[in-house]
Structure 1
């Protein structure tokens, strides 16, 4: 079980490509507070970035919209929840696992990014409730960083 703060911190951004940097910075701040090592922080940022990008590009399709990002951190890890009011989309149903025997040029386009995102986190949940997509991602702390920064 991941020990997390009871009260989440919240970031609300417009659903634009320009706001994705703010989402990434928010996620990395929470990862730092939780003491996640670089590898775990990267896995979380990768997953959140992929899902937030999909909300902007495919959910709202460049139209007006908002993304609410809720984050909770603690010594056990970080949990991020993304909420939007774009059309319903379950990332689990939309992911495509890699096709090892099929050359890249012959593979169907789309879905692989979601697969990478969902397999990079320790837990993922999706629900569509009250007209909102709610995706929750959790990354557990992995202990000490095997590649600490150079002095």
Structure 2
């Protein structure tokens, strides 16, 4: 994403308690970055969906409702938006925990959970996870519509 961020741009940072009530603040942060990047509706929706799903997962499953914080860092530019979520919850790589939906199984017999992570990871153009210095770090990138894999129909 080297062409996405202009050299003079500074990353934006948001640090919030790992509580459901903070999801609105995280969403507003992501929407501001998407607006600065000039993302269209589809790309904006995709990055917001992915960040919301991962942040919710951190709150509900990582910290299990206990005390914790989520740091959200973002950069935007003409090519798209990159968001980094960091937390100190127990190690969890969303890619390892992501199972595709069991579409051939009746809904009442499907396992509970996992669909949110699947939606998040398939909504972004790039995703990576790392565990460093006791922190989970998820990096999500959505490119601007000019490079959108699902451009709107005319």
Same fold, judged at TM 0.5 (above) = yes
Runs of 4 or more, structure 1, over 3 Å off, are 143-147
C-alpha deviation, 1:5, in angstroms: 4.1
User: Partners in 2 of 1:128 and 1:94 — Cα distance?
Assistant: 15
**RMSD of equivalent CA atoms:** 1.6
What is the aligned counterpart of 1:123 among 114, 123, 126? Answer: 126
Q: Between Structure 1 and Structure 2, how many residues are aligned?
A: 147
Q: Is the 8 A contact 1:5 1:72 kept in 2?
A: no
What TM-score do the two structures reach when normalised by structure 2? 0.91
User: Partners in 2 of 1:5 and 1:85 — Cα distance?
Assistant: 30
Q: Is the 8 A contact 1:127 1:134 kept in 2?
A: yes
User: Partners in 2 of 1:5 and 1:118 — Cα distance?
Assistant: 26
Residue deviations 1:25-54 (CA, integer Å, cap 9, x gap): 000000000000011000000000000000
What TM-score do the two structures reach when normalised by structure 1? 0.93
Residue deviations 1:31-79 (CA, integer Å, cap 9, x gap): 0000000110000000000000000011001111000000000000000
Query: 3-state SS of the aligned residue for 2:145?
Result: coil
